Structure 1
């Protein structure tokens, strides 16, 4: 069978690659053509575009790059028409993917959405598009199944694929990791500033502002695969280090982490690292988002899944040096750290165990049949 997959972000590349591996187990003749990243390329198949050329963050950046986005949509439609896949698999990335879903249905192609857009947070009206143009909705957060049921859409809760990715990791020795990556023996505070250039520049400056107050620790930046190593060099010195494409290993060797809001907040929790969640956008983008997002108390996946504050979220003006210092001190040692680690255990239980990629692959193969 021929599979066409569209993943527009780093997290989608990870989940898309694991889904491709699972599909190959169930379909030995599987052929893949995809929009994604290095992980999907390693899984095999034909890459069309890299997600680094697709990721535009915030309302202003989208507006500035609207011509590029529209050209990508036109190109994608032409490519799908030429390839004639048996199924189109969309991985999150709703602004782009929902338009492609509508197009694919006009060609009679089966459409599966894997990893739901966050419609429960904003643009709830898009559920009607999914109802019309998506054959199967595969959700990875436990509350999403009820959300779609409320709107008359059948969905499958397959569990969260991060549990699979993390459970397959080999054991790591912190001393060896530090030695191999030119780090000192001091304990690590990991910095995960995001994956987009403008986001990283803004977040790293804030995260590193706490450094004079934590002289007994070394700060290590987790480099995004979408950005070149040279980009990070201006932040590196004797007390600030950098590792590339080793985020999971870095987290497993870290005492605590400062993490930009996104999938990384959940990854950090599942790897059992106490964290502070950070977010600051442009004033205009934040004001627009605040008007559009309804009935959502939290921005981090950890808190959304648990429906209470497990990790501290520092947003906009609350994201400042004094608050970062205070919160980081509390999760390095003491009661707040212990409570957070216990809550992480409950979080893993809520996410439904391993096997998400296999369950998703089974549904997709059955859709084609």
Structure 2
């Protein structure tokens, strides 16, 4: 076998071995066996919420185990592919083996990023809020572009997206939107998106065709679970009900079923209008409020720790630029990762940015 190819395969095997050690395959197999045993119990679905959580966790862990064992098997087969191809001096077979090696390198690198997600809430689903900031109608349009970008990213991976509330701007775009992405490690993965995003383009809303810079903010928090202790005193809440509306102020509901909650001590306001009843909307809005309060507490604790460490750095402000004119580029201002195809990025191709952000964050935490 070519010495360079052999060395590359050994390097991939060593990286995969480190991943296997971090993921602790023996423990993972034991967890899968235990969950399969629980899933087989005849009274499982007596408690539907518990059953759904258990089966979702089982599916996730089975997928993780299958993914890593599949990579190990393919890596072992790769050496045989090269040996056979070189023995037969078959250029096409060598090219196939090269292609498989490139795929394995990409997939192992992606799995390695997953091992960097070890935060307290990283495994959870993500609750994301996108808001238009400076830039008027262009900012509202940009906020809607980001909403679509994250939705398309989730769709590409087969993840669930639930939009809880959308506040439409008068002319075009949105003032804000709050939505949940349901996926393994959604919070840990998407939390690197938090901050201010910047768009530079020729404004489609300017009849003089001038270049416009606009901004949109992205907030990412973990979804609250039953084990979290987030106490909310009813006296600290103001509850407003109103009629749901669509783009341009068009009514989409004939009853006052939408609910807005204001947490008076913190000033946090959340709303929900996607459910059929006022009661359902209030329950969903309460879950969103709890998630935001939990993240606020977590951030306050982090700020205290940072102050003790004398760490004044902050990466959560302006973090990415999307330039559509006079040239085409998307660049992350923290990691320096950039691509020359904004259209693909805005269509949901953000995995490389996510991976670069996760690696960068890990470096910041250990430096």
Give TM-score, length-normalised by structure 1.
0.26
Greater relative CO (CA pairs within 8 A, separation 6+): 1
Give TM-score, length-normalised by structure 2.
0.26
